[in-house]
Amino acid sequence: MEPAADSADEILVPRCFALMALAFCFPVAWCAAAELPHGHASWVRVATPDFELYTTADEDAGRSLIFRLERLRAVLQPILGWRGEVRSEVRDRRERPICIIEFGSRDEFLPFAPMSRSIGYFLPGARRDFVVLDGTHAEGRAASHEYVHFVMSQSGLRLPAWLNEGLAELYSNLAEPRSGQPTTIGQFIPGRVLSLRRDAWIGLTELASATTDSPIFTSAGSVDAAYAESWLLAHMLVLDPRYGARFPDLLAALQTVETTEAFRQVYGKSVRQVELDLKTYLETGQTNVRIIGDSPLPAAQRVTVEREADFEGLAALAEMLGNYRGRTGQSRDLYRQLERDYPRRIP
């Protein structure tokens, strides 16, 4: 999930789909102005060469999260070398830094959430990109899902919403083996399977044409089904022997044609035929699990911790809000608060 960047600051190009440029963005209407965090909130900074994380949870939670993202980064790098040359207009985004903002409680996170049911989101920025999380869910797949969106945004592909969300679900569910054991991908996600068995399916034609800001991906009545169906479809296209070998061709086709035509060109199948395969796949696809290598473990000495990082944490939050459509006023208020509370830290 990703909120819209503020066009005035020109921060956009949601990841959602670039190659995965995910070039989506959905505008979010804020129901009320959120109260700014107090200047003496307790922030901790945890960083590695690849990640900068600010958290109001404890240091151990920050370390655990950043180690998990380091593992995921190492696993995804070779996988997402999917497609040859990156388009020139996105090449300068490939090495962009990322900042993780993790709120230690649900109450802290909700004022900055795009909708009440959100537990995390990705936001492209002018200088760096952000993942914002409800830390009470960070031990689950939410952090990994949003980080996959960030990684895909670096690759430069333009993909439809169903594939962007489906791939984020698929790759956020990497098995977490013990040291020395191989990493695997493809285990079925129980909650998504339950949704597919419980809820009415969205027609694949409708899902394929939906954008990230459409009711299919945002309304309470369909969002679970949309994510579950997108996950299962991505699982089948990547891991099923009937489809997997042609998946790179599908990515290439989606750069120039819509999903329906891409299925016809690449697989010689109509959307209806793919949909019939997908419904069967719910019963047969759980055996399609792939070993993708040993699980890399980040070195503890690469991690730096700053335990009194209130100024830096609030400054990161202000920068994030400055990239969020409808939130630039709140960003300015927070910068003014920093100026008052930390006069010696402002140049």
Backbone angles phi, psi at 323, to 5 degrees: -95, 0
For residues 303 and 77, the model is more confident at: 303
Contact 150, 131 (CB under 8 A): yes
Question: Helix or strand or coil: residue 46?
Answer: strand
Amino acid at 226: A
Given strand 304-306, what is the order of strands in its sheet? 120-123, 129-134, 98-103, 52-55, 44-47, 304-306
pLDDT at 17: 28
2-30 pLDDT, tens digit each: 554 443 222 222 333 232 222 223 233 33
Cα angle for residues 220, 224, 227 (degrees, 5° grid):
130
Contact 328, 335 (CB under 8 A): no
pTM score of the predicted model: 0.76
Contact 236, 243 (CB under 8 A): yes
Q: What is the Cα–Cα distance from 122 to 44, expressed in whole angstroms?
A: 20
195-207 pLDDT, tens digit each: 999 999 999 999 9
Backbone angles phi, psi at 291, to 5 degrees: -85, 125
CA 77 to chain centre: 15
Q: What is the Cα–Cα distance from 227 to 206, expressed in whole angstroms?
A: 13
Q: Which of 143, 113, 147, 110 is nearest to 129 (CA)?
A: 147
Q: Which of 33-42, 152-161, 204-213, 309-318 has the lowest mean pLDDT?
A: 33-42
Longest dimension (CA), the chain: 65
Amino acid at 73: R
Q: Which of 110-114, 135-139, 257-261 has the lowest mean pLDDT?
A: 135-139
- pLDDT beyond 60 at 305: yes
For residues 223 and 25, the model is more confident at: 223
pLDDT at 95: 57
Contact 210, 16 (CB under 8 A): no
Q: Which of 15-29, 109-123, 212-226 has the lowest mean pLDDT?
A: 15-29
75-88 pLDDT, tens digit each: 777 666 544 334 44
Beta bridge partners of 290: 185
Q: What is the Cα–Cα distance from 198 to 108, expressed in whole angstroms?
A: 32
DSSP letters spanning 244-261 = GGGHHHHHHHTTTS-HHH
For residues 153 and 217, the model is more confident at: 217
In this prediction, residue 292 has a pLDDT band, given cuts at 50, 70 and 90, of confident
Report percent pLDDT > 70 for the chain. 78
63-77 pLDDT, tens digit each: 989 888 888 888 777
